């Protein structure tokens, strides 16, 4: 058999385990391999290779190793739970972006944070035993017998095909249902930490049992673990809910869970972001519109949202029918398009909207500005001809490149394909996916496939942002829709005089203003750049009696020139005022005393710096205006 490696092809005259093939290449490689990619599929290193194949060996240096380690650590934790609580039943325990979790049910026992330390100790005992982690394949009937006392595993097994081969992984007395791959022994799992407890409904359904969930993380070295735990501590300091309260940006009320209230400073920040968005979209050929927040049920039935989304919609009954508060803006934009007849010469027609939408999110899922029930989507809906798709998607991606660079956010792209509950034909879907693929590649951007996660009306490009804390956020999206324009009888007059149905692109760069503000609040740790800061300059008179009036004159000068500033006219001591200004993370702090009053100068200190600089008020204003104009 021929085995294609990264840089050459080797031939073998008999089937071999992947780890044996690695040993044929070098002993050092054999010792470092933890898994193998066989024809693109991740497998255990002991997998038998019996035919021509492409192989790539996975070591701790490869990104796939983190997932394998954390999945194996999830099993180690489950084994520890089973030893401490023999009556426990288990849901699922996958590796995730930054670690792992496992869902479990312990009758009459609710774990606390203190119990995590006990679990960690038991996990270390099991790790020290160096238990082999062994894979076994069984029939569906055998699997049901093995897990007859675990209702959750049994439910998963029953949904499999009767002739399907099922893989199990065992370590010591513990056996789990799993596809793998895994590490080869428990002693390879050394540097881990259990982080938190949460509740999770079985299979995400609120009608099911609430299971307990433990989150954790695992690394191959102690240094990596310590670095990650330090990052987590830094994230706590940057928590936008904490900063939002300290900086007086927003609040929530028990009378409206998941519905943020914007305080004066927060609204100023939000409005600055909106103005930036509006200016940019007008410069890029978008017409800005506004559509009603509530529309008749018939519209949502035509769009398909009623069938696919009604459980998440807020509705109200009135004498002339059922109305729904919009969960999305697209049907409204289509009504605007259909208000008049359009020629192909007008296309693409770009409608942009800061649309206020509402979706019912379970109370347990609400999380500050990250997960709310009412939010503003920075939406745009472009109606165009199929021949214009590539060029238009390229322009959108260029726009995203610019916007995200302003905030120092890098991103990757995922192509989300046809979901199970799609509308339209497979042929149209296939064409739409191909059009998005080509358009993305034409811009020089790579992407990975996210199968089955498209919108019900079309495939999409999802933009995954990475912040300063190395977290991934789903924000921007570009959705190609070949369904809704036809449902609403949208047409344009083609060059030959016939009426044709346009294609629609849905896109949002922030995704949600609320969520994006939460993200950048944490990304900047509350120290917003000057152009975005709700208070740009804090003015501190040394003496209220001697310097307040002159400070007010400086305030007027700056305010008249578009600078957002405030005076601390409290009776507190000067040192306290200076510290308070620093705590508020205001970009510039001006202390105004005798010298400044006498010569009309400004003595400022920039946030995060110790140096005090004395300049004329004109120089100070030019410094501020230059930063703001350059979005710094």
**251 touches 245 (CB < 8 A):** yes
DSSP state of 455: B
| CA 213 – CA 101 distance, rounded (Å) | 7
Residue of 381, 515, 564, 617 with catalytic role: 381
| CA 66 – CA 217 distance, rounded (Å) | 10
Is 105 a catalytic site residue?
A: no
Is 445 a catalytic site residue?
A: no
Residue 302: other Cβ atoms inside 10 A: 15
| CA 21 – CA 57 distance, rounded (Å) | 10
| CA 240 – CA 467 distance, rounded (Å) | 13
Could you check whether the bond before residue 613 is cis, i.e. omega within 30 degrees of 0?
no
**354 touches 380 (CB < 8 A):** no
Is 381 a catalytic site residue?
A: yes
Is 379 a catalytic site residue?
A: yes
Residue of 506, 547, 564, 597 with catalytic role: 506
Residue of 378, 379, 462, 481 with catalytic role: 379
What are the backbone angles phi and psi of residue 553, rounded to the nearest 5°? -65, -40
Is 14 a catalytic site residue?
A: no
Is 460 a catalytic site residue?
A: yes
DSSP state of 371: B
Is 7 a catalytic site residue?
A: no
- CB contact burial 251-260 (16+ within 10 A = b; e otherwise): ebeeeeebeb
| CA 456 – CA 448 distance, rounded (Å) | 20
| CA 131 – CA 171 distance, rounded (Å) | 6
**Nearest Cα to Cα of residue 502 among 489, 512, 513:** 489
Query: What are the beta bridge partners of residue 354?
Result: 378
Query: What are the beta bridge partners of residue 198?
Result: 213
| CA 616 – CA 596 distance, rounded (Å) | 9
289 half-sphere exposure, CB direction, 13 A CA radius: 24
Residue of 153, 178, 182, 330 with catalytic role: 330
Q: Give residues with Cβ within 8 angstroms of 227, minimum separation 6.
A: none
Per residue, the 3-state secondary structure of 579-590, as one string, reads HHHHHCCCCEEE
DSSP state of 239: -
Which residue pairs from 477-480 have beta carbons closer than 8 angstroms and sit at least 24 positions apart in sequence?
477/506, 477/507, 477/508, 477/511, 478/393, 478/396, 478/397, 478/436, 478/505, 478/506, 478/507, 479/454, 479/455, 479/505, 479/506, 479/507, 480/389, 480/393, 480/432, 480/435, 480/436, 480/505
DSSP state of 360: -
265: left (phi over 0), alpha (psi -120 to 50) or beta: alpha
Place of tokens 């270390």: 124
Residue of 71, 460, 507, 577 with catalytic role: 460
**Nearest Cα to Cα of residue 351 among 327, 335, 366, 365:** 335
497: left (phi over 0), alpha (psi -120 to 50) or beta: left
| CA 164 – CA 485 distance, rounded (Å) | 42
Residue 531: other Cβ atoms inside 10 A: 17
Helix axes 264-283, 513-523, angle to 10 degrees: 110
**217 touches 192 (CB < 8 A):** yes
| Residues identified as active-site | 330, 359, 377, 379, 381, 460, 506
């Amino acid at each position: 058999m021929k085995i294609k490696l990264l840089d050459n092809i080797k031939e073998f005259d008999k089937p071999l385990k992947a780890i044996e093939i690695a040993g044929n290449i070098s002993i050092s490689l054999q010792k470092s391999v933890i898994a193998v990619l066989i024809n693109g599929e991740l497998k255990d290193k002991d997998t038998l290779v019996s035919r021509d194949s492409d192989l790539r060996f996975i070591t701790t240096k490869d990104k796939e190793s983190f997932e394998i380690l954390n999945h194996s650590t999830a099993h180690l934790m489950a084994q520890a739970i089973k030893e401490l609580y023999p009556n426990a039943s288990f849901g699922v325990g996958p590796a995730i972006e930054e670690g792992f979790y496992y869902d479990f049910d312990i009758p009459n026992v609710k774990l606390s944070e203190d119990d995590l330390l006990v679990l960690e100790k038991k996990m270390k005992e099991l790790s020290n035993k160096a238990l082999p982690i062994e894979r076994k394949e069984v029939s569906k009937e055998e699997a049901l017998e093995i897990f007859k006392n675990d209702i959750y595993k049994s439910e998963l097994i029953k949904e499999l095909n009767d002739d399907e081969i099922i893989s199990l992984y065992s370590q010591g007395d513990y056996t789990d249902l799993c596809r793998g791959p895994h590490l080869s022994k428990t002693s390879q799992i050394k540097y881990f930490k259990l982080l938190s407890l949460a509740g999770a409904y079985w299979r995400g359904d609120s009608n099911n049992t609430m299971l307990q969930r433990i989150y954790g993380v695992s690394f191959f070295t102690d240094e990596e673990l310590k670095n990650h735990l330090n990052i987590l501590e830094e994230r706590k300091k940057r928590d936008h809910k904490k900063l939002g309260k300290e900086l007086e940006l927003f609040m929530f009320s028990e009378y409206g869970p998941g519905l943020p209230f914007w305080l004066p400073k927060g609204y100023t920040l939000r409005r600055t972001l909106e103005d930036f968005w509006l200016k940019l979209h007008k410069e890029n050929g978008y017409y800005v519109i506004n559509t009603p927040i509530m529309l008749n049920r018939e519209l949502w039935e035509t769009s398909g949202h009623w069938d696919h989304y009604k459980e998440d919609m807020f509705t109200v009954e009135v004498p002339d029918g059922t109305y729904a508060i919009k969960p999305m803006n697209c049907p409204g934009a289509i009504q605007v398009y259909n208000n008049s007849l359009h020629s192909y010469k007008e296309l693409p027609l770009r409608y942009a909207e800061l649309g206020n939408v509402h979706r019912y999110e379970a109370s347990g899922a609400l999380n500050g500005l990250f997960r709310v029930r009412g939010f503003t989507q920075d939406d745009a809906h472009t109606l165009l001809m199929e021949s214009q798709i590539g060029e238009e998607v390229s322009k959108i991606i260029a726009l995203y490149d610019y916007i995200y660079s302003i905030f120092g956010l890098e991103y990757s792209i995922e192509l989300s394909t046809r979901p199970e509950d799609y509308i339209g034909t497979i042929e149209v879907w296939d064409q739409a996916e191909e059009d998005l693929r080509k358009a993305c590649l034409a811009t020089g951007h790579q992407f990975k496939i996210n199968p089955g996660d498209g919108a019900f009306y079309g495939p999409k490009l999802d933009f995954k942002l990475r912040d300063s804390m190395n977290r991934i956020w789903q924000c921007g999206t570009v959705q190609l829709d070949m369904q809704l324009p036809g449902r609403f009888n949208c047409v344009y007059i083609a060059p030959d005089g016939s009426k044709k149905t346009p294609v629609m692109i849905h896109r949002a760069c922030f995704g949600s203003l609320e969520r994006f503000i939460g993200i950048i609040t944490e990304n900047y740790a509350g120290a917003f750049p000057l152009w975005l800061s709700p208070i740009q300059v804090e003015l501190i008179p040394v003496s209220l009696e001697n310097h307040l009036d002159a400070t007010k004159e400086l305030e007027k000068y700056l305010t008249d020139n578009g600078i957002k500033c405030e005076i601390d006219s409290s009776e507190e001591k000067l040192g306290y005022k200076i510290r308070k200004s620093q705590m508020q993370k205001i970009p510039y702090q001006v202390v105004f005393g005798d010298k400044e009053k006498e010569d009309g100068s400004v003595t400022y200190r920039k946030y995060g710096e110790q140096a005090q600089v004395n300049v004329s008020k004109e120089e100070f204003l030019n410094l501020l205006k230059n930063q703001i104009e350059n979005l710094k």
